[in-house]
């Protein structure tokens, strides 16, 4: 089986501010592909009318769990639209220091009320667990994965899941000629939805699909599309590392890899990635319900 030549790659994310300082510089230097960046969906804040209908009261909580700058923007937007005065005693638990610093756009930064982890939510959980007396509000997107909530449940943290924004698919066909691309890189199920809706009649076998996350892989499989480059895996924890490894495959290794891809695609269980591909992300658990107060 002949290996597909990858020259043009479509990446479903905004372009980095400086490509030479981004992780993608490795691919450019080593494989010299043409990279096109295009976000596959828009993020839209829910209206204050919708938020009232959710019956969640921001002021019933003494602390906020923040996992993105989007969450910060929408938290303070809704507070303003609802004419709420956020008390100075409110505490903020942010996933990274960078996200914590972003709070300065809205409040005065004080160490006694702002806490943060290093990079992953599991690290932030350790900080949250030291403040179990707090009642947490968790601003999030409509399609947020369940893993973070399950970690909170495991430690019996008192929190409320609070949907403040959602992802809406774009019509990609207006700006993208899909026939020009050899590989498409996706990072979320809503990105998969955008792609399927935008190019319903295109022969997907002509494209190599790279995906990040078990939920994204499952979304492609449900659409009957093969995932050729899964991440994260034990060997390739980042998307760039996974693409680099795929592009570096020898003809023999490529044949072995395609056999694994076909085995995974033909598996009956759609939600659980194959052990052969060693995907480290946890399987989807959409039936679980987070606790709320």
Class of domain 8-40+181-266: alpha beta
- Say if 8-40+181-266 and 44-167 have the same CATH topology: yes
* Domain range list for the chain: 8-40+181-266, 44-167
pLDDT at 289: 45
173-to-7, 169, 201, 204 alpha-carbon distances in Å: 20, 12, 12, 15
Per-residue pLDDT in tens (0 to 9) along the chain, 293 residues: 677 789 999 999 999 999 999 999 999 999 999 999 999 999 899 999 999 999 999 999 999 999 989 999 999 999 999 999 999 999 999 988 989 999 999 998 877 799 998 878 888 999 999 999 999 999 998 877 788 899 999 999 999 999 999 989 999 999 999 999 999 999 988 999 999 999 998 888 899 999 998 888 989 999 999 999 999 888 998 999 999 999 999 989 999 999 989 888 887 544 444 434 443 333 333 334 444 44
pLDDT at 1: 62
CATH fold of 44-167: Rossmann fold (3.40.50)
The 10 Å CB-count burial string (b at 16+, else e) for 208-229 is bbbbbbbbbbbbbbeeebbbbb
pLDDT at 268: 53
Centre a 10 Å sphere on the Cβ of residue 18 and count the other Cβ atoms it contains: 8
pLDDT at 104: 93
Cα Rg of the chain, angstroms: 21
- Phi, psi (deg, nearest 5) at residue 205: -65, -15
pLDDT at 205: 87
pTM (two decimals): 0.70
**Residues ≥6 apart with Cβ < 8 Å to 22:** 16
Residue reference for tokens 């479509």: 10
Q: What is the largest distance, in Å, between two alpha-carbon atoms of the chain?
A: 64
């Amino acid at each position: 089986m002949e290996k597909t030549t990858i020259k043009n790659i479509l990446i479903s994310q905004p372009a980095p501010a400086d490509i030479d300082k981004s992780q993608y510089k490795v691919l450019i230097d080593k494989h010299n592909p043409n990279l096109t960046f295009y976000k596959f969906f828009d993020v839209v804040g829910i209206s204050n009318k919708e938020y009232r209908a959710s019956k969640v009261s921001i002021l019933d909580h003494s602390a906020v769990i923040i996992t993105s700058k989007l969450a910060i923007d929408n938290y303070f937007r809704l507070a303003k639209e609802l004419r709420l005065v956020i008390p100075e005693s409110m505490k903020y638990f942010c996933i990274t220091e960078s996200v914590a610093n972003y709070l300065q756009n809205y409040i005065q930064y004080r160490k006694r009320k702002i806490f943060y982890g290093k990079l992953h939510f599991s690290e932030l959980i350790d900080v949250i667990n030291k403040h179990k007396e707090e009642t947490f509000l968790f601003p999030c997107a409509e399609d947020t994965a369940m893993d973070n909530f399950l970690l909170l449940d495991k430690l019996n943290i008192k929190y409320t899941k609070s949907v403040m924004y959602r992802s809406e698919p774009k019509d990609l066909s207006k700006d993208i000629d899909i026939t020009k691309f050899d590989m498409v890189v996706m990072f979320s199920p809503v990105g998969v939805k955008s792609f399927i809706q935008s190019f319903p009649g295109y022969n997907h076998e002509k494209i190599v699909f790279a995906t990040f996350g078990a939920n994204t892989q499952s979304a492609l499989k449900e659409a009957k599309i093969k995932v050729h480059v899964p991440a994260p895996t034990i060997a390739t924890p980042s998307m760039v590392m996974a693409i680099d490894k795929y592009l570096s495959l020898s003809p023999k290794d490529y044949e072995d890899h395609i056999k694994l891809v076909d085995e995974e695609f033909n598996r009956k269980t759609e939600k659980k990635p194959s052990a052969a591909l060693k995907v480290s992300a946890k399987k989807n658990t959409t039936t679980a319900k987070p606790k709320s107060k």
